[in-house]
Structure 1
Amino acid sequence: MSDLVYVVDSDAASQSGIDDLLRASGYRTKAYGSADEILQQMPERESAGCIVIDVQCRDNAAPDLFDRLSKAGSNLPVIFLAGHSDVRAGVRAIQAGAEDFFTKPVQREEFIRAIDRAIARHRLTNEQDCWGRKAMARLHLLTRRERQVFDLVVRAKMNKQVAFELGTTERTVKAHRHNVMEKMQLRSVVELVSCAERLGLLRPGIS
């Protein structure tokens, strides 16, 4: 299934033109007449896509839209379009966090490349978020003692050191390590350390 682009434009003719361009380039599209409309019918967070919005409004439209999208739980990249007289709005859009900004009429190839980049970034973000949720869910399956072993092992502690710090035997530590690897669905200590790093658990004071 082709990727989906959400087009926000209050001008029907302009919206139709953007729609035709995107569909001719292989995208699916969904149209909205205003930012309020897309906020009331939020796209699915897990689906890769992006928002294209025509900025024909006040200077604070960009930061206002990003704030409202964020509060609504959207992480969709946003590409802004505006007329040549609205360059200031484009600058504010980029400052607010827009993926890209174009003045109309857009140069087709450059615009489509920006759409490709935005969707690729959103797909990667979704994959990373999904991995993080699954990894945290597995981490929460560890018992208190297994989590203590996890925290020491990822900080390069040997079994003997872990046993000493926890007041137990190396044999017991090995059993806990085995359980940790099984529950985290990892095959090596290197993978375990990488997992801890990606979850932000190796920063000073984090455990």
Structure 2
Amino acid sequence: MNPATLESQSSQACVAIIDDDSSVRNSLAMLLETKQWHSVEFERAHDFLSNAKLTDFNCLVVDVRIPEMNGLELFDELLRRSKQQHQYLPPVIFLSGHGDIPLVVRVLKQGAVDFLEKPADHRSLLDAISRALQTDARERENFQSQAAILKEIAELTQRERMVLTEVVAGYLGKQIADHLNISPKTVEAHRLHICQKLNVRTSMELAAKLRDIPPSLWQSF
């Protein structure tokens, strides 16, 4: 993706602000306006989970210490839903007035893109959000590409998906035939149908196309 595209997408960005302190939310919203970034404010994690559509946002700014369901619990729930429903999760930035090293390490290992201690200065906030928006532009495009491939795989028969799993694992036709208790000719017929449906010519192209997609995603169909 070229820099001009990134800049265009950043100017249209929408950021979710999840913080129980209205003064913090308002201050951050006004700061975002200086960059022409839109924002939507949420006081509680449950408000966000009940009313927000993740794909509407390019970045989430979450306070760790929001009451009831805290920011870390919200992040855990978003990660769970993302994996279970194969749903895109925008980059998450955490804010906390009580940050410590173990907490930082945990959220970053889980996939958060940044962690800032309150009160964060305006430059640090804007820089962090700018980096998150650049990450979103790349990751969203990758996710959409992966979703399109999974849609193609969903059109395969169950037997074809079984053969597909064996092919991308690197097994040869005779091995696949033995594993699935079918003839090598049947394996080859399935392989040809798979390649046609996924718009590739060879097993090598097929493996390359599915390089970043774990078989567990289509085995759950």
* 1:135 aligned to which of 132, 149, 156: 149
Q: Which runs of 5+ in 1 are unaligned?
A: 203-207
Q: Secondary structure at the match of 2:156?
A: coil
Mapped to 1, the partners of 2:196 and 2:28 lie a distance apart of 50
Mapped to 2, the partners of 1:3 and 1:95 lie a distance apart of 27
What amino acid does structure 1 have at the position aligned with 2:15?
A: V
Residues 1:107 and 1:197: Cα distance change in structure 2 (over 3 Å):
same
Q: Secondary structure at the match of 1:6?
A: strand
Identify the residue that residue 34 of structure 2 maps to in structure 1: 24
1:119-158 counterparts in 2 under 5 A? 119-143=133-157, 150=164, 154=168, 155=170, 157=172
1:3-152 counterparts in 2 under 5 A? 3-42=13-52, 44-56=53-65, 61-71=70-80, 73=82, 75-83=89-97, 86-88=98-100, 91-92=102-103, 94-96=105-107, 97=110, 98-143=112-157, 150=164
Mapped to 2, the partners of 1:167 and 1:113 lie a distance apart of 59
What amino acid does structure 2 have at the position aligned with 1:198?
A: D
The alignment's TM-score, normalised by the length of structure 1, stands at 0.69
Check conservation: 1:77, 1:122, Cα contact below 8 A.
yes
Q: Percent identity?
A: 24
Residues 1:71 and 1:168: Cα distance change in structure 2 (over 3 Å):
closer
Q: Deviations over 1:160-190 (max 9, x none)?
A: x6899764659x94x6554322200224443
Identify the residue that residue 193 of structure 1 maps to in structure 2: 207
Larger Rg: 1
Mapped to 1, the partners of 2:44 and 2:71 lie a distance apart of 13
What amino acid does structure 2 have at the position aligned with 1:65?
A: L
What amino acid does structure 2 have at the position aligned with 1:87?
A: G
Residues 1:8 and 1:143: Cα distance change in structure 2 (over 3 Å):
closer
Q: Which one is further off, 25-34 or 148-157?
A: 148-157
Q: Deviations over 1:60-94 (max 9, x none)?
A: 934322233335547233212233xx233x75255
Check conservation: 1:50, 1:78, Cα contact below 8 A.
yes
Identify the residue that residue 181 of structure 1 maps to in structure 2: 195
Q: Which runs of 5+ in 2 are unaligned?
A: 1-8, 217-221
Give the paired residue count: 193
Check conservation: 2:45, 2:70, Cα contact below 8 A.
no
The alignment's TM-score, normalised by the length of structure 2, stands at 0.66
Mapped to 1, the partners of 2:159 and 2:117 lie a distance apart of 58
Mapped to 2, the partners of 1:51 and 1:34 lie a distance apart of 13
Identify the residue that residue 205 of structure 1 maps to in structure 2: none
Check conservation: 1:100, 1:114, Cα contact below 8 A.
yes
What amino acid does structure 2 have at the position aligned with 1:66?
A: F
How far 1:24 moved relative to its partner? 0.6
How far 1:197 moved relative to its partner? 3.0
